[in-house]
Amino acid sequence: MKYENHIFDVGAYNGVDGLALAINNPKFLIHAFEANPELIDTIKENKKKIENYKKEKINNYIINNYAISNTIGILDFNIAKNPTVSSLNKFSENLDNSWISYKEEHFKYVKKIKVKVITLEQYCLENEINNISYLHIDTQGNDLKVLEGLKRKTNILEQGVLEAAVSKEKSLYEGNHTIEEVKEFLNKEKFKI
């Protein structure tokens, strides 16, 4: 089946958000992106569990095992003790000031791996996608770069959501964008906030 409408789940983690979007939007193709290869198996397991529970296949869901940013290439991906905070970015040196007592339990890297990184523009061109109905971004301090990576395809995006730090001082990651930087980009691109 050829889909006219697409939903992107960037930073899919365990796949639950994207799978819910697939179930609730059967006429949309959901594109899930997850950089951590260990989580790809988790996503597949969760998909199978949901399919078994519902007694039907989820055919409108695609898993992509790479990171999305505003550049193309191979980059380091930092896997944390708490996998929900794994990122292309490194943790901020100010963690103890803003994230008191979280460092040892959550914000500690267990390993660094190399991952393929592409832009959403490249993905859309390669897959002949001319409409993104909804874009869900949760990439741990890299959300604005994901949006910037749409480049000349920014106009195909209808709506979406992303995360941003309140300030550089309270940011979890080095180089994390702030709410003000996101607003500036969205206003420049004529998005309604």
Q: Is the pLDDT assigned to residue 49 strictly greater than 70?
A: yes
Each residue's pLDDT tens digit, 136-152? 999 999 999 999 999 99
Contacts for 153-156 with beta carbons within 8 Å, 24 or more apart? 153/120, 153/121, 153/124, 153/125, 154/189, 156/124, 156/129, 156/130, 156/131, 156/132
Each residue's pLDDT tens digit, 66-85? 999 999 999 999 999 888 89
Q: What is the mean pLDDT of residues 167-178?
A: 85
| pTM of the predicted structure, to 2 decimals | 0.93
- Predicted local distance difference test score (pLDDT) of residue 172: 83
- Predicted local distance difference test score (pLDDT) of residue 88: 93
**8, β-bridge pairs:** 31, 135
